[in-house]
Amino acid sequence: MIAVIKESATEEQLDHFVSWIEGKGLNANVSKGENETVIGLIGDTTVVDPFLLESMDIVERVQRVSEPFKKANRKFHPEDTVVDCGNGILIGGGNFQVIAGPCSVEGDNLIRIARAVKAAGATMLRGGAFKPRTSPYACQGMGEAGLDLLCEAKAELGMPIVTEVMDPRDVQLFVDKGIDVMQIGARNAQNFPLLKEVGKTDVPILLKRAMAGTIDELLMAAEYIMSEGNEKVILCERGIRTFETRTRNTFDLNAIPVLHHLTHLPVVADPSHATGYTRYVSPMALAATAAGADALEIEVHDDPSNAWSDGGQALTPAMFADTMRRIALIREAVTQEVE
């Protein structure tokens, strides 16, 4: 961390500032130039709040030189992390998967949808049993019975299951049921007690980006999980809230290569929540594949107009099958060696 000191600072203020830094157990490297004085803070700078530094009278501005995320940082772990989701399904390091299924687990239609997405080439099944709804009056999901339906589908089809956990008190239930991947939804991306709780398990975590979360906040959320011991974290770009109103969210495709640059963790893209409309899901699924996503998460429903949630963004099984064929072509194009 570097602090640029105001020209008006006196020697006495500077000495006082240096002692304050040293008092934090850090070394202060003072470099006096012709026009400005710069102090490098050396050591474990996590003990210093950069906003507090910036509010000090003699400090002009503060710049971080190293990122606060350590375990998720590619600098300290250059090779891609590959997350084993069970049943031989790997995500990351060149392994590409498609996670598909309904927004909500609703009952008997789950197995029909699961069979259809598997036949089209999906390798993992999704479905929410505990649903984070904006309104407390909207359907909240099937709860534990929904987890059981997912487990039955897994037993028949051999597809690992991905489902959202919302409450730290439910984490053990998900573990006991043998859920393969626990999803942390956008609304819980900064629910630190929940992040810590899933971090104590050994279950892969699909961590979604918060509604208005920056890439760094997503990485710090991953860091929360990893710092508790669970390093099986899969990041998910699912669109962010911007001033645009023509789509449910704005798909931040940039986040895919940016995350690959900053972290070794695999990156999933969710074009369903990112766009919010069925008609835009397929083009953005292709774009995310081209941009280097390690997996896609796509909502599919066999009767979207009667879906419990997110019917307006669901692909039908036929649309999904068509999209899968196109995804395969894009994957071939972007993974090919070129002269």
Q: What residues line the site for Mn ion (CB under 5 A)?
A: 103, 310
Residue 238 binding ligand PEP, by CB under 6 A: yes
Cα of 304 vs its chain's centroid, Å: 26
| Contact pattern from residue 301 through residue 320 relative to ligand PEP, giving x for each residue in contact according to CB under 6 A and a dash for the rest | --------------------
- Cα gap 273→281, rounded to integer Å: 9
- Cα gap 243→258, rounded to integer Å: 22
Residue 273 binding ligand PEP, by CB under 6 A: yes
The span of 31-39, 179-187, 282-290, 314-322 binding ligand PEP (CB under 6 A) equals 179-187
The span of 63-71, 83-91, 142-150, 181-189 binding ligand PEP (CB under 6 A) equals 181-189
Among 5, 72, 103, 142, binds ligand PEP (CB under 6 A): 103
The minimum distance between CB 186 and ligand PEP, in angstroms, equals 4
- Cα gap 259→219, rounded to integer Å: 9
Contacts of 41 (CB under 8 A, 6+ apart): 1, 2, 3, 21, 26, 27, 28, 29, 48
- Cα gap 180→182, rounded to integer Å: 7
Cα of 180 vs its chain's centroid, Å: 17
DSSP code at position 38? E
Supply the Cα-derived Rg of the chain in whole angstroms. 23
Please, are residues 280 and 250 in contact by the beta-carbon 8 Å criterion? Answer: no
- Cα gap 86→18, rounded to integer Å: 53
Among 185, 199, 204, 271, binds ligand PEP (CB under 6 A): 185
Q: Which is nearer to ligand PEP, 153 or 186 (CB)?
A: 186
The span of 46-54, 180-188, 259-267, 282-290 binding ligand PEP (CB under 6 A) equals 180-188
Q: Which entry of ligand PEP, Mn ion, none binds 186, CB below 5 to 8 A by partner kind?
A: ligand PEP
- Cα gap 190→273, rounded to integer Å: 18
Tell me phi and psi for residue 59, to 5 degrees: -95, 125
Q: Which is nearer to ligand PEP, 71 or 273 (CB)?
A: 273
Residue 213 binding ligand PEP, by CB under 6 A: no
DSSP code at position 16? H
Contacts of 173 (CB under 8 A, 6+ apart): 144, 147
Q: Which is nearer to ligand PEP, 128 or 266 (CB)?
A: 128
Q: Which entry of ligand PEP, Mn ion, none binds 208, CB below 5 to 8 A by partner kind?
A: ligand PEP
Residue 132 binding ligand PEP, by CB under 6 A: yes
The minimum distance between CB 177 and ligand PEP, in angstroms, equals 18
Q: Which entry of ligand PEP, Mn ion, none binds 238, CB below 5 to 8 A by partner kind?
A: ligand PEP
Tell me phi and psi for residue 179, to 5 degrees: -65, 130
Structure tokens at 144: 């534990």
Q: Which is nearer to ligand PEP, 74 or 248 (CB)?
A: 248
Among 86, 92, 101, 128, binds ligand PEP (CB under 6 A): 128
Q: Which is nearer to Mn ion, 28 or 184 (CB)?
A: 184
The minimum distance between CB 239 and ligand PEP, in angstroms, equals 8
